[in-house]
Structure 1
Amino acid sequence: MTLLSKEILNSNILHQPLPVHDEQSYETLELKKSNVGIEKIIFDQNHSVLWKHEGRGALIKDTSTAGFIADSRYDSWAKGAPKDGDYVNFGEAKIITEFNRSDWSEYNQISFEILASCKNMINPNVTVSFVNDGTIKIPDIYDREGYHVINLKGEDWHTYVLDLSNLPREAIMSMAIASGANGSYMNLPGKLSYQIRNIKLQKNNLISHAKGWKASSNELIYSHIGYQTTSEKKSILWSPKHQYADFQLIDVTTGKVVYDGKSILKKEIVGNYRIFDFTDFTNEGLFVLETAGLKTDPFTIMAFDKLYGDSIWRSLNFIYCERCGCPVSGIHGTCHEDVVATFENETITFNGGWHDAGDLSQQLIQSAELTLNIIEMSEQYRESDPMLSRRLLEEGEWGIDFIFKTRLANGFHVTSAGITRWTDNHVGNMDDAQARIGNHAYDNFLLAGILAKIGNLLPDQHSLIEKITDVAQEDYEFAQTKFEISPYVHEPVFWEHTYNMSNSLFAATISWASSMLYQRTKIKKYADEATRFMDVMLDCQEVVGIDLFDGKKLQGMFYRDAGKKIFQHFNHQSRESMYAMALEGIIISQSKSKLVDDWKKSAVLLGSYYKYLKEFTQPYDMFPSGVYQMEEYQDQESFNRQHLLVGESAKEEYQIQLKNAVKIGQNLYIKRFPVWFSFRGNNAIILSAGRASAILGNLLQDQGLTDMAAGQLQWMVGKNPFNQSMVYGEGHNFAQQYTVSSGEMVGEMPVGMQTFGNEDEPYWPQFNNATYKEVWVGNAGKWMGLLSDLLKTEKRASK
């Protein structure tokens, strides 16, 4: 029995969080390989007097330490906070020390010791931040760069090291240590108390890089989890040297060489690298790849369902830890019973489902989509791993309960709440949070489709099937009534997860939801509506083709509407898979329709677009963001819907970002990463595109599309320029994320890789601010959704 299996049993099958092991974390591994060349102490007896205090609480200091103490809760909001307490905590305690344009350029890391002496706090943590007044200003205009959150260990002094190598630091003005007063465990009296000492600037001769496509020249880049037996298997080395031409696979169990191969030298614009291709090796087992003294950690080769089984347990652990309204042992008690909405003189408590992210906000649509992803995964493992399937089903039922709970009369739903604090659970006092209410056709169509598909997937005779079917039909009718009166009316609330909706995605969602209801009920009306809105969706697809500089035509991608002026993009959240889901739904449910060939042609075109995109991020498998036109920023309505919290310079930055992309035609560019501003991180984007590719691969029986889909998973578990896993506890070199509310959780996934400024190459510093390194349950759901479609393909292939 593996260690993970034992821990799953000890957790009562994930009714307690899995223990967090940080032995293979980025922070632990970096600390081990530290090789300090020069060092400068910047906190000594003379400097201790220079700390000042801001915000809540008070400064505490002596000749060798500085810190602060504050309450965890106050009876008023902090100065400048909104009066309704939306999306704020009770303030922040901070200490600051100034440096007067100090040049730190010769140092690439900072180390310090911190002591946490808190009481009744959930996840003691501090934010370390810097101000630089050099050529590149820190923080940036969106307050993303220059901030790092540390989840602290125990009530003792611990050393923490922060990589500064990618932080502009030639004119450092100040350094601050802060922590938010965001409530306490079950409203018990709480105290924040932190002290810092022994701050040292250091030059680490072995520091890791954090920007660009090139990986370290002494590291083999590979999928830390491993590879499926019958799929593509490749490793990458960024070195052209001849001694790395030959490689071997070694069986870890026997120590014997089981495969000899020769690498392929590639010379590209991004640099020279070697590919170690062992796709034709299909034996199962545990292996290492070795070449000229370099070797990987052990990885597995096995059937797909076994290969990713552990990652599903870990992802499910993360999801469980993010439960809202339910006590989670070791993290929080019953929570957010005073997040409320008022509807027709009634008060509704808006807790349940799962916390959205590193904060504690709640989104109905996010929880609903996650519910479907969990149920999809449960169905895939029903026969091969009944225990996993049943535990997934239990978690999915928690989500179904939340969907039902948030329904109001006549198509209204409680939809979302912005929360960053642990409220006191007492309704009627100042710290209550107000939830939003909406009645929007898109949300109701999407919810109807989600529930209908869940009904199609649940085990026969499940007690909720009839209820789910009734609710799905009701929500669909509410949506249809509203849509016929005011078609394509978009979500008006800035913070809702469907705010960036386009007409084409609207039509795709209606068609998909109609197909799901047709499968559930066999009522012809739903088939007719699926066909009607599929026609609308296909009117938004590029079928003629756009001329490119290389003589090819670019086809298959979707525009935001039938006017075909603005391409469909996603830059934070993503529902890109919906187009493929709609095609799959209608082709399967109406397989005898005379329009099936037309629908399949659309699927082929969309698949060709993904194949074209693949070439722009080689040797990695990460899906590029897609094709952009230079003039798109001039469309004010779509620009504002796609980009939240943008500055005045956003339209100018848009043009700069495209100029840093690859020009493929007249005013036409391929962006590897999205055009983005404040909200950054592309895991949702690549997982959603990956799911689209997996669906199309299965639908068209195209192994190339299937391999591309699996490549998105490999990118997230190590096969990226930084040799880092982005799934905490999977593989190795996984970094601490932005998890300020709940602390590190096994299986957590961040929003995703970002870029620096207006560049178009990967940027993944140790700094872990929102949004790029904020953990996000939606990505755990998209991980499961993509996996479930790949499992379908494996099952089909094995028949």
Structure 2
Amino acid sequence: MKKYILYILLVPPLLLFLSACEETKTVSEGNFNFNREFPLEAPVENSLLTQWARKEVKDSLLIDDMEGRNNWRMTEGIATLEYTDERSIDGKHSLRYHTSMKDTAYIMLPENRTPWGSFGGQQGGGAHFGITFDEPQDWTAYNRISIWVYIHPSKTPIHHFFLDIVNQGTDYNTTTPRHDTVIQDLVPGKWHNVVWEISDLPRNRVKQFNIFQTLIGYEPGNDEFVTFDFDRLQLQKVDADHYDGWNIPNTQFAYSHIGYRPYDIKQALTDISKVDEFQLLNTQKEIVYTGIAKPINNKNGSFTLLDFTDFTTPGTYYLSYNSHESKPFPINEYVWLEPMFSGINFYFCQRCGYEVPGIHGICHQDWQGFYNNEKKVINGGWHDAGDMSQGYYRTAIGAYVLLRNLQQVKDKPELTGLATKLKDEALWGLKWIAKNRFSDGYHISWARQRIYSDNTIGTSDDVVIKAVNVPWENFLGAAVLTLAEQYYQDIDTNLLEEMRETALENWQQAYKSGKGWNKATYLETSWGAIASILLYQKTNDDKYKEAALCFGRLLTECQETTFQEGIPITGYFYTDSDRKTILQNNHSAFNEAPMLALRNLCQAFPDDQDWMKWYSSAVIYSDFFLKRGSKFSAPYYLLPTAVFRKSDMLAIEDENKRNFSLIQFNDGTALNDEYTLRTFPIWDSNLFHGGTSCHLSTSWALAEASRLRHDKSGMQLVGKQLEWTFGHNPFNQTLMYGVGYNFAPQFAYCTKNVVGSLAVGMDCIRGDKPHWNGSTYATCKEMWIAPVNRFMGTVAAFNENIDSMKQKHNIQISIEKEDMSASSQKAVIRLIGEGTHQLAMHLQNATTDFQSQKVALVKGEEKKIEVTFNIQDTNKPFVAAIIADADVQLINDVSGAYY
């Protein structure tokens, strides 16, 4: 007989965390200084670049001293190469590279033009040069490449180039790392020693070493040409960084670099050791806490857990264990506001059509869109990534998450500066959504842009994009603009009216596209529901309510709630209500959308007949997919990315993709012969890698479900995902540039590395385990708006204003549940509190003899109620939700399953 004990507190459980930190001082703007001007400067002393430069070189081998041996050849592009005696690191010469940043002939090639005659937005050309060795070179005794470069001063603010090695006989495929890296952000007018760790790359038969540059154009007023001098190419041997697997190198800690809130779980991991105790030190290096180090051994390796959850005193601290110390971190109520502030800086630096100091001027004023006879300039919003493309949902979700964070801080006087930054930045995105509107629901969904144009309409580099009608994006735009209205009553009335009109028209055009809405994608149902709810709450028009309820029904049809073929995982979603294709993502994801919709539906329509379907959908997704799936990546507890079917892999037509998909399928956790669960996505190419965007999308989903349920354990699991992003990972690296320690350079070749950016993210090569090497390439190391959007969404939910959750009823409920059989379960409800309360129970896949009833509680006494759950379908989970006093804010639940 198994026993499960679940304590259900019918006040929001997050309130309980506050008891541990009642004496916590609130942050002041003087401490965090949210009035700092953007762009923010990165603390380069905390970067990996600084660490790499300090490494001891234990051995080296000169490859070329650039003394004129004519080893280098141009292989592509319009650049020139020559030796120069103007400057050198040693010897007398260096190799000079000189090129225009735009190849007009390349831009005019037919394959680079659209059917309507404009430039397609590709690179402005390229320039490649390198060495081809007569005989393959064995470089395995070395693990780093070093080269010196001098960039000639010019009016161009952006400089980059790539290094590349080609190993003869290596099959570069979906499950091998890329063999190039980008170098950027170098200051002109001085020599730089550029290094590249290549420990993960095959290098036993190196045939070529290449340097190349993608031409990114130039803005009016900047110089057309760039000149680089290169010298002293050599191989080096250093102590390489850890780059693959779950294990933690000796002397390193996996912990949250940005700190912990006093009432959160506070844990760190390190390598296995026989030392029994660890210490927490203050800034004077005095011991303020001693804890027991707990060994962990599982399929992912051997670790030591350092748990200091019960230490709640705010301050700055170090971990000390086995004669090693971590870098300092805070314990503070508002530790998550600093990375949020840095995220706002990222959006600012990605602004299109705006002068961003040190990066670009008012850009892309000749970027246009059209629909039929309508044509307009479409610059604005935020650039998408390391290039300068633009996408509707990227900017729209960016505006949405900025508004969600604004909701959390707007009423805190001490956070006025932060609220102002959020409001100003969100408005930049909102303006573009309203501007980017054509007739009949058409808009610019995606626009590729990889050059700085001349800002003049009618020239060869104009990028002109055809508008399209994407219903779910129209619902998204309607939702964002409707949500925004309450915050911008003080803006220009014409702009406000344009935002209102756009929201209404977007919704109408999207809704009529469904032709009755008998089926829909998960994105259409999710954002259709959210937009309809917001418009119903604004207008009280029943057509929006009816639409929201329709989308709610369709959304639950997109979910799997059965344990297929007896596997222990369920609750995941399909791509649409036909339920044929399991929702799986690789490098970009929208997993948050269903949980956002379900939370909005449950809160907007608490008396609807489908309420329990919506609520149980969030419970099953959380408990039987995410929570169960996270155990396979213990002790990090990363959320799973997806369930995969072998039959889907075998059905892939392309033989190469099919074979590599099967390899990755087999690397996952087998649920049975047909189904596998993976922590990391299955990649379908060598380019589109990176799991952080998907991971944070799922983290946001769990955060929204946990907010709905007031689920303490769920929100704690969300915290683990955020902490992974900021250093609690095997590499002891923060993944956000400029925040925390050991942040790596990102692929941002058209702009610069900017504080607050996140790359597409953690890679996986083999074994469904993390891979994070020293190379900087697209897409896994590419700066993208998508993961920042998902981080900002997650942290908005995680930072929910728990101070405002008042304890309305003095009642505490615990349920002791016993497994009696596969079809029935008995439980004892234990009540503690005072006063009279009305209890009601809602059920999914179960019946019970429990009746809605009033209970009179006496302070200090416990009341018991026996309940029997009769499970209707043992191949599905059951969910019971208990509500006190008809207040859905005072809710908690219990779930269970035979499997």
Q: Which amino acid aligns with 1:56?
A: I
Provide the residue aligned with 2:584 in structure 1.
569
SS in 1 for 2:789: helix
What's the offset of the Cα at 1:533?
1.7
Provide the residue aligned with 1:508 in structure 2.
526
After superposition, the C-alpha distances for 1:352-396 in whole angstroms (9 at most, x for unaligned) are: 001100001111221111011111112211122111101210111
* 1:345–1:452 Cα change, 3 Å: same
* 1:247–1:564 Cα change, 3 Å: same
SS in 2 for 1:610: helix
What's the offset of the Cα at 1:5?
6.7
Provide the residue aligned with 2:387 in structure 1.
359
Distance 1:349 1:468 in 2: 18
* Kept after mapping to 2: 8 A contact 1:415/1:435: no
SS in 1 for 2:584: coil
* Kept after mapping to 2: 8 A contact 1:682/1:751: yes
| Matching of residue 65 in structure 1 with residue 104 in structure 2 | no
Distance 1:160 1:39 in 2: 15
| Matching of residue 406 in structure 1 with residue 424 in structure 2 | no
| Matching of residue 720 in structure 1 with residue 729 in structure 2 | yes
* Kept after mapping to 2: 8 A contact 1:91/1:181: yes
| Matching of residue 653 in structure 1 with residue 660 in structure 2 | yes
After superposition, the C-alpha distances for 1:668-699 in whole angstroms (9 at most, x for unaligned) are: 11111011123111122111111111111111
SS in 1 for 2:64: coil
| Matching of residue 25 in structure 1 with residue 47 in structure 2 | yes
Q: 1:316 aligns with which of 337, 344, 347?
A: 344
What's the offset of the Cα at 1:566?
2.8
Q: Which amino acid aligns with 1:101?
A: P
Q: Matches of residues 157-196 of structure 1 in structure 2 within 5 Å?
A: 157-196=191-230
Distance 1:118 1:141 in 2: 39
| Matching of residue 743 in structure 1 with residue 752 in structure 2 | yes
Shifted more, 506-515 versus 292-301: the winner is 506-515
* Kept after mapping to 1: 8 A contact 2:161/2:211: yes
Q: Matches of residues 24-423 of structure 1 in structure 2 within 5 Å?
A: 24-32=46-54, 34-44=55-65, 48-54=69-75, 55-62=77-84, 64-77=93-106, 82-84=112-114, 85-99=119-133, 100-134=135-169, 136-138=170-172, 140=173, 145-151=178-184, 152-204=186-238, 206-239=239-272, 241-243=273-275, 245-252=276-283, 254-303=284-333, 306-384=334-412, 385-423=415-453
SS in 1 for 2:514: helix
Provide the residue aligned with 2:769 in structure 1.
761
Provide the residue aligned with 2:676 in structure 1.
669
* Kept after mapping to 2: 8 A contact 1:131/1:174: yes
Q: Which amino acid aligns with 2:681?
A: P
Q: Which amino acid aligns with 2:628?
A: Y
* 1:578–1:424 Cα change, 3 Å: same
* 1:431–1:455 Cα change, 3 Å: same
| Matching of residue 539 in structure 1 with residue 554 in structure 2 | no
Identity score, percent: 27
Provide the residue aligned with 1:528 in structure 2.
546
Provide the residue aligned with 1:618 in structure 2.
634
What's the offset of the Cα at 1:585?
0.7
What's the offset of the Cα at 1:19?
2.1
What's the offset of the Cα at 1:736?
0.7
Provide the residue aligned with 2:720 in structure 1.
711
SS in 1 for 2:386: coil
What's the offset of the Cα at 1:200?
1.4
What's the offset of the Cα at 1:703?
0.9
After superposition, the C-alpha distances for 1:691-745 in whole angstroms (9 at most, x for unaligned) are: 1111111111111110111222211111111111111111110011101011121
SS in 2 for 1:185: coil
SS in 1 for 2:586: coil
Distance 1:39 1:546 in 2: 57
Provide the residue aligned with 1:582 in structure 2.
597
- Bigger proportion of residues as strand: 2
Distance 2:138 2:28 in 1: 47
SS in 2 for 1:786: helix
Query: TM-score when scaled to structure 2?
Result: 0.81
Q: Matches of residues 456-495 of structure 1 in structure 2 within 5 Å?
A: 467-484=498-515
* Kept after mapping to 1: 8 A contact 2:404/2:793: yes
Distance 1:312 1:459 in 2: 25
* Kept after mapping to 1: 8 A contact 2:144/2:197: yes
SS in 2 for 1:242: coil
Distance 1:38 1:662 in 2: 41
SS in 2 for 1:150: strand
* 1:295–1:94 Cα change, 3 Å: same
Shifted more, 561-570 versus 270-279: the winner is 561-570
What's the offset of the Cα at 1:219?
0.6
SS in 1 for 2:748: coil
Query: TM-score when scaled to structure 1?
Result: 0.91
Q: Which amino acid aligns with 1:624?
A: P
Q: Which amino acid aligns with 1:18?
A: L
Distance 2:378 2:604 in 1: 36
SS in 1 for 2:82: strand
Q: Which amino acid aligns with 1:53?
A: M
Q: Which amino acid aligns with 1:106?
A: A
* 1:13–1:259 Cα change, 3 Å: closer
Distance 1:485 1:161 in 2: 59
What's the offset of the Cα at 1:449?
2.0
Q: Which amino acid aligns with 1:247?
A: F
Distance 2:743 2:30 in 1: 21
SS in 1 for 2:671: strand
After superposition, the C-alpha distances for 1:531-586 in whole angstroms (9 at most, x for unaligned) are: 1121112122222323546xxx4222112234444321121211101111111011
Long gaps (5+) in structure 1: 489-501, 640-646
SS in 2 for 1:176: strand
* Kept after mapping to 2: 8 A contact 1:672/1:760: yes
Provide the residue aligned with 2:845 in structure 1.
none
| Matching of residue 787 in structure 1 with residue 805 in structure 2 | no
Distance 1:181 1:144 in 2: 24
SS in 2 for 1:665: coil
Rg bigger for which structure?
Answer: 2
What's the offset of the Cα at 1:477?
0.8
After superposition, the C-alpha distances for 1:405-457 in whole angstroms (9 at most, x for unaligned) are: 11111211122211110000000010101223112322212221222233356
Provide the residue aligned with 1:643 in structure 2.
none
After superposition, the C-alpha distances for 1:605-648 in whole angstroms (9 at most, x for unaligned) are: 11112111110111114322121111123556xx9xxxxxxx75
After superposition, the C-alpha distances for 1:225-256 in whole angstroms (9 at most, x for unaligned) are: 011211111100122x212x20111122x433
What's the offset of the Cα at 1:466?
5.7
* Kept after mapping to 1: 8 A contact 2:122/2:449: yes
Provide the residue aligned with 1:494 in structure 2.
none
Distance 1:43 1:128 in 2: 15
Q: Which amino acid aligns with 2:249?
A: S
After superposition, the C-alpha distances for 1:71-100 in whole angstroms (9 at most, x for unaligned) are: 123432267851343232221222211223
Distance 1:64 1:735 in 2: 32
Shifted more, 57-66 versus 291-300: the winner is 57-66
Q: Which amino acid aligns with 2:423?
A: L
Supply the RMSD in Å over aligned alpha carbons: 2.5
Long gaps (5+) in structure 2: 1-26, 85-91, 808-899
Distance 2:154 2:308 in 1: 54
Distance 1:42 1:461 in 2: 62
